[in-house]
Structure 1
Amino acid sequence: MQELKKSLIVSAWFMFLTFPMLVIRVNTIEKTVEWRWMNLAYIAIAAFVLSFVWRWAMRRKESGRAKETVQAGAKPSFMDRLGSDKRFTVSIYGAAFAVFMTLPLLVSTYQTNILISFLIYVILGLGLNIIVGVAGLLFLGHAAFYAIGAYTYALLNQYFGLGFWIALPIGGVMAALAGIALAFPVLRLRGDYLAIVTLGFGEIVRLVLENWSDLTGGPSGVSGIQRPGFFGQELTVAQANTYIYYIVLGVVIVTIIAVQRLKDSRIGRALQALREDEIACQAMGIDRVNVKLMAFGLGTAWAGFAGVIFAAKTTFINPASFTFFESAIILSIVVLGGMGSNLGVILGAAFLVLIPEYLRAFSEYRMIMFAVAMVLMMIFRPQGLIAPKGKTYVIDDPDLARAQGGNA
């Protein structure tokens, strides 16, 4: 009853605040006043329903927290269990691989272009996940290294005639070197200060690309970039898009395997230790400087690879393609999917790249829907769609296990 009363009060306040804007309409031509009372009714109903649902959801969230606090070893949520189940993860990857291998043969060229963009963002998200999700470093300038990879291929192709396959590793190396160069002056920075510096670096790169017109073409960008060659054969636009699709799909598979192996390796465990407690990490003998340099270098290298593929796909690039909005989208993919979770990043990229493309009929409301979804995620599931789970180690030595059990 108390919740209903509060929701009614909220509804009344919304009616009072929106009354002049939504109800009263002055017709200056006919010099009349129109009273649109139905708009007021819609506002009242919508405000009441949203307020009641919001309070109900918050009450459920608080009761769930209370149960987890009271009950020792509370049962994890359904999404968390899925994220920790290897059989589910392998099944999802296998089914997704089979579907994505056949999609270009079933859909149009436009749909293939959308899928290529989605896969590029998956590469970018997985690369940023190394820095943000695994190492725990807040990074807001990922689009700068995306641009470095794209312009590396564009300029090498324009001035030296180098092809895609030669420029692909060079773009990754150039982005990694830029990431390491950025890491040196920010080794002592953490949190918001690190985010501000990386954001500034992204803007510096964009402004350099805009103003160094003699080399980069300035705001006009670079056009006429060659698409990847296929044994010297001439490909139509549709065939070239399909070819690029399979290239980027292969790079995504390599990225997933590499990032997963990195997380399970000694370097990955050092990165996760740095994320949990930097002081304890250094006290245990882990070289904090080298670990941060590796995190920046490895994460930005994948952005360079994605930039080369993007330049080959579009055949035209300019600084407007690498604004802060791109960095924000990539970071949102990591946060929404689940920091440290590869499968979560893929789902986050699907949510932020594919769904807006297929909701163009609601183009006026897409950003509102996106904002509401992000707010709800931050409140009800801040760990992301699929939260990463730590590894569990089993003692193989029976004598040691028996001693551990006796001590417990």
Structure 2
Amino acid sequence: MARDLDLALKNAPLRAPAPLFDRPRPARGVFTSQSGFLRALGVLAVLLLAVLPFLDASRYTMSIATSALIYVMLCMGLNVVVGYAGLLDLGYIAFFAVGAYVSGIFTTVLGFPMWLALPATIVACIVAGVIIGGPTLRLRSDYLAIVTLGFGEIIRITANNLEITGGPSGIHGIPSWDFGGWSFDDGFAIGGLEFPGYVVFYYFVATVVVVVGVIGAGRLAKGKLGRAWKAVRDDEDAAEAMGINTYVAKISAYIIGAVWAGMAGQLMSTHLSAISPNSFQFLYSALILMAVVLGGMGSTPGVIIGALFVSLAPELLRDFAEWRYLIFGILLVVVMLFRPAGLWPATAVLPWLKRTRPQPPPFTSAVGAIDQGVPDVEPSVMESVDGLPATDAEEGRQA
């Protein structure tokens, strides 16, 4: 009996069961799918960034827009750490300071051009992420938040007491980006239109933020690494039981967030041409975290909206003088009361897609395709489908 069963298993053809339903193709339209609408919204936002200097190229508008884009870059990096990996970091401004000071030291003390200081900034942020994240990421929840807060203050106090960082006065005279004999400060002319240096730098920041920050972080979240981050965020013990190296996943999120913050710090140092330790206080870490939570943790459009709200609201309320911060605080409380998951949470579904009823998929017409060219054999154990013998399974399909 055992020999006959063994022989039958060896001679039985291995067949994959045919699908019971045809898988429908996902919708790709602007108003019929979530991803299509977000892509169209992203293209519209990029076009708005490109058109803004033609509408208002004043120094004030360009300066505010550049600062807002730097905030977007910072919030996208923190969203990787907090939104995707679930690591509460209260000292994120430390990486912002590392990027700003490294680029400032390389360009003013060592005489490097700004584009050569960019690789040094990235390497310094990776090293800082490993040094700070290595011993701290074994902690969880409140303990992790307290330790990261301490590291953020250590970086600021260290910069305040070192001679190479300029001490309390900081670093001044940081040059702009230059290539050969041309600098961003020189500006250029296109078709008779003069673009001053601050407008040119605005274009540079817009390109870095939109292309590197938003698209890069969004693509990472959809890949294998992003799924590991979300598994660690939801349940670290379950993720580890499923074979995910949770420590590697967390340290990678920490390093990527540090690189994003370091690039934003370099852009800020070039934009302002001066940095000091007072620019990297805990208040700014709390402000960036507030923007991520306000927009919606783990949501790319939500984080962008939160960053723009936090950076632009005080300026839009400037006419209210000393009352503007009170109004700003009230607006934050109102938003969190009525939108506790954020302005655009990661689980948000477009309103018109909620009303769309799912259609049952049609039965497949290719059930018998797998049997073409296969000789008739006696039913065996290997031919069973879904726990039923092959003959019963075939009858169920034909029915």
Of the three residues 333, 336, 350, the one matched with 2:291 is: 333
| Aligned-pair CA distance for 1:390 | 9.1
Q: Distance in 2 between matches of 1:362 and 1:90?
A: 37
Q: Distance in 2 between matches of 1:176 and 1:218?
A: 24
1:240 aligns with 2:190: no
Query: TM-score normalized by structure 1?
Result: 0.73
Q: 1:353 to 1:403 in 2, by over 3 A?
A: farther
1:228 aligns with 2:185: no
Of the three residues 89, 106, 111, the one matched with 2:61 is: 111
Query: Which stretch of structure 1 is more off in the superposition, 232-241 or 157-166?
Result: 232-241
| Aligned-pair CA distance for 1:249 | 0.8
Where does the alignment leave 5 or more consecutive residues of structure 1 unmatched?
Answer: 1-81
The residue identity in structure 1 corresponding to 2:313 is I
1:251 aligns with 2:208: yes
Partner of 1:46: none
Partner of 2:95: 145
Where does the alignment leave 5 or more consecutive residues of structure 2 unmatched?
Answer: 1-30, 188-194, 350-360, 368-384, 388-395
Q: Secondary structure at the match of 1:95?
A: helix
| Aligned-pair CA distance for 1:337 | 0.5
1:191 aligns with 2:148: no
The aligned runs of 1:8-407 (5 Å cut-off) are 85-107=34-56, 108-212=58-162, 214-233=163-182, 235-236=185-186, 239-253=196-210, 254-389=212-347
Partner of 1:72: none
Q: Distance in 2 between matches of 1:189 and 1:381?
A: 30
CA offset digits 1:32-53 (Å, max 9, x no partner): xxxxxxxxxxxxxxxxxxxxxx
The residue identity in structure 2 corresponding to 1:333 is A
Q: Is the 8 A contact 1:176 1:304 kept in 2?
A: no
Q: Distance in 1 between matches of 2:167 and 2:78?
A: 27
Q: Percent identity?
A: 44
CA offset digits 1:7-60 (Å, max 9, x no partner): xxxxxxxxxxxxxxxxxxxxxxxxxxxxxxxxxxxxxxxxxxxxxxxxxxxxxx
Partner of 1:38: none
The residue identity in structure 2 corresponding to 1:252 is V
What root-mean-square deviation, in Å, do the aligned CA atoms of Structure 1 and Structure 2 show? 2.5
Q: Distance in 2 between matches of 1:256 and 1:128?
A: 12
| Aligned-pair CA distance for 1:371 | 1.9
Partner of 1:51: none
The residue identity in structure 2 corresponding to 1:152 is V
| Aligned-pair CA distance for 1:366 | 1.9
Q: Distance in 2 between matches of 1:119 and 1:144?
A: 19
Q: Distance in 1 between matches of 2:70 and 2:137?
A: 29
| Aligned-pair CA distance for 1:290 | 0.5
| Aligned-pair CA distance for 1:236 | 4.3
Query: Which stretch of structure 1 is more off in the superposition, 192-201 or 267-276?
Result: 192-201
The residue identity in structure 1 corresponding to 2:52 is L
The residue identity in structure 2 corresponding to 1:247 is F
The residue identity in structure 2 corresponding to 1:293 is I
Query: Which stretch of structure 1 is more off in the superposition, 355-364 or 295-304?
Result: 355-364
Query: Which stretch of structure 1 is more off in the superposition, 269-278 or 352-361?
Result: 352-361
Q: Secondary structure at the match of 2:182?
A: coil
| Aligned-pair CA distance for 1:379 | 2.6
Q: Distance in 2 between matches of 1:367 and 1:310?
A: 23
CA offset digits 1:98-147 (Å, max 9, x no partner): 11112123320110000000000000000000000000110111111001
Q: Distance in 2 between matches of 1:112 and 1:236?
A: 16
Q: Distance in 2 between matches of 1:378 and 1:361?
A: 24
The number of residue pairs the alignment matches comes to 318
Q: Secondary structure at the match of 1:215?
A: coil
Q: Distance in 2 between matches of 1:246 and 1:298?
A: 24
Q: Is the 8 A contact 2:125 2:262 kept in 1?
A: yes
Q: Distance in 2 between matches of 1:363 and 1:179?
A: 39
Q: Is the 8 A contact 1:157 1:225 kept in 2?
A: yes
| Aligned-pair CA distance for 1:231 | 4.3
Q: Is the 8 A contact 2:88 2:141 kept in 1?
A: yes
Q: 1:390 to 1:354 in 2, by over 3 A?
A: closer
Q: 1:180 to 1:363 in 2, by over 3 A?
A: farther
The residue identity in structure 1 corresponding to 2:196 is Q
Q: Secondary structure at the match of 1:103?
A: helix
CA offset digits 1:232-273 (Å, max 9, x no partner): 225348722112111111111221111111011000000000
CA offset digits 1:282-329 (Å, max 9, x no partner): 000000111111010011110000001111111111111111111111
Q: Secondary structure at the match of 1:138?
A: coil
Q: Distance in 1 between matches of 2:334 and 2:64?
A: 26
The higher-RCO structure (CA 8 Å, 6+ apart) is 2
Q: Distance in 1 between matches of 2:136 and 2:263?
A: 24
